[in-house]
Amino acid sequence: MKSYLTCAASTLALVASTAAFAGPEAEVLHYWTSGGEAKSVAVLQKEFADNGGTWTDMPVAGGGGDAAMTALRARVLSGNAPTAVQLKGPAIQEWYEEGVLADISAVAEANNWADVLPESIAGHMKCEGTWCAAPVNVHRVDWIWANSDVLSSNGIEMPKTWDEFNAAAAKLQAAGIIPLAHGGQAWQDATVFEAVALGILGADGFRKAFVDLDKETLTSDAMVAVFDQMRKMRGFVDPNFSGRDWNLATAMVMNGEAAFQIMGDWAKGEFMAAGKVPGDDFLCMSTPGEGFLYNVDSFAMFSVDGEEKRQGQDLLAKLVVGQNFQKVFNLNKGSIPARTDVSLDEFDSCAVLSADDMAASSAGGSLLPSYAHGMALRGAQSGAITDVVTAHFNSDMSSADAVQQLATAVANSM
């Protein structure tokens, strides 16, 4: 009898021990639900499983992530935060200030993140000096895409200055071609605006205006010139632009209805999915001016109870910044790796150009966070700027009035 009880106790202890160390676990809240994104997440899930982890997927549809953030807040308020959440930019710091993010510095230091990530991008992943998020990719925002046949048949080269762009647009209009494919949505207006602003203000001026919110820069003659150029851009779009989705504007360039589009490199994914070849069917170049505007996706780790979940966070963070996932995810997404040491042999020519420009901009101090895509400013400030940009773009408001409204809106949002 004693032997039986001893054996039973040993078995129960073994079961309990096994249950106590079931392996890394991660419940991951994200909004990567489109075809290429879902495929990329599946790669991460497999890597996680291959390393002994158990992944619970929590996808929330909606490319902008608003629905995901609503779901996240409900989970945090109920005391049941997910293990990891897709967050970016100042949103990471906002959640840190609420005291709900975990410290993953041990993983970052063990895997030398500081040595393989651009300093500017690494800064977004830190909370008061500790690592609290893991970067997945880098999207460049200030791209200009073009239909190569339309340009060549009209004797036009990719514009290197805004004056060249204006001249090319006027020539295209005279030929009955829409110069600029654009969707009249606030975030698309903001995307064009910040690309124009970078080219006219320069990297230092852009930082002062849209990172530091410097009033003198916001009300400068150079900012008036930015709105002057936006007024010209408004004249280069077709009458049916209002409410058009960005991918439909990309399709206009693809089918030769329009010559140019100013959009982040997710537009490249549309060209590639349609079988178009960069350099042959379409052209890519940074918008006129110096600098690089980035939008970085990342995972923030939330404070959770249980050794398995904490192990899951460490494993997930390690894999996300690992070379394999950085390569596979970005090949599918159209972006480039956040790591600077990932081989680009399998990437297209636009991605290689982007990586080279990122390295040069990082070294030169002109690698800048996109305000339009939630990297530079908190929601109230970026929303205030975009409201003015869109109001100006869709009315006859003067550039001088727009600049004054911009400064007032920013001051009221502080």
CA–CA distance, 62 with 71 (Å, rounded to integer) = 12
Domains and CATH numbers, the chain: 25-139+295-353 (3.40.190.10), 140-294+369-413 (3.40.190.10)
Least confident interval from 12-16, 180-184, 310-314:
12-16
For residue 407, name the pLDDT band (cuts at 50, 70, 90).
Answer: very high
For residue 12, name the pLDDT band (cuts at 50, 70, 90).
Answer: very low
State the CB neighbour count (10 A cutoff) for residue 59. 16
Is residue 320 classed as helix, strand or coil in its secondary structure?
A: helix
Q: What is the pLDDT of residue 210?
A: 98
* 13, pLDDT greater than 50: no
Cβ 378 vs Cβ 411: under 8 Å = no
Parallel, antiparallel, or unpaired for β 143-147 and 282-286?
Answer: antiparallel
* Backbone CA torsion sign across 319, 323, 324, 329: positive
CA–CA distance, 46 with 44 (Å, rounded to integer) = 5
One-letter amino acid for residue 165 of the chain:
F
Q: What is the pLDDT of residue 45?
A: 94
* Residue 368, CA atoms < 13 Å, CB-side half-sphere: 28
Mean pLDDT confidence for 240-267: 95
* 278, pLDDT greater than 90: yes
Q: What is the pLDDT of residue 64?
A: 66
Is the backbone of residue 256 left (phi > 0), alpha (psi -120 to 50) or beta?
Answer: left
Is residue 29 classed as helix, strand or coil in its secondary structure?
A: strand
For residue 259, name the pLDDT band (cuts at 50, 70, 90).
Answer: very high
DSSP 324-382: HHHHHHHHHHS-EESSSSS--TTS-HHHHHHHHHHHHHHHHT-EEE-TTTTSSS-HHHH
CA–CA distance, 94 with 91 (Å, rounded to integer) = 5
Per-residue pLDDT tens for 342-383?
Answer: 999 999 999 999 999 999 999 999 999 999 999 999 989 999
CA–CA distance, 301 with 28 (Å, rounded to integer) = 10
Q: What is the pLDDT of residue 66?
A: 79
CA–CA distance, 34 with 270 (Å, rounded to integer) = 12
Q: What is the pLDDT of residue 39?
A: 81
* 385, pLDDT greater than 90: yes
Structure tokens belonging to residue 319: 């894999």
Mean pLDDT confidence for 22-27: 92
Per-residue pLDDT tens for 36-77?
Answer: 778 888 889 999 999 999 999 999 986 567 789 899 999 999
Percent of the chain with pLDDT over 90: 86
Per-residue pLDDT tens for 297-328?
Answer: 999 999 999 999 999 999 999 999 999 999 98
Per-residue pLDDT tens for 80-137?
Answer: 999 999 999 999 999 999 999 999 999 999 999 999 999 999 999 999 999 999 999 9
* 17, pLDDT greater than 60: no
Q: What is the pLDDT of residue 292?
A: 97
Mean pLDDT confidence for 392-409: 97
Q: Which residue reads 């080269």 in tokens?
A: 157
For residue 9, name the pLDDT band (cuts at 50, 70, 90).
Answer: very low
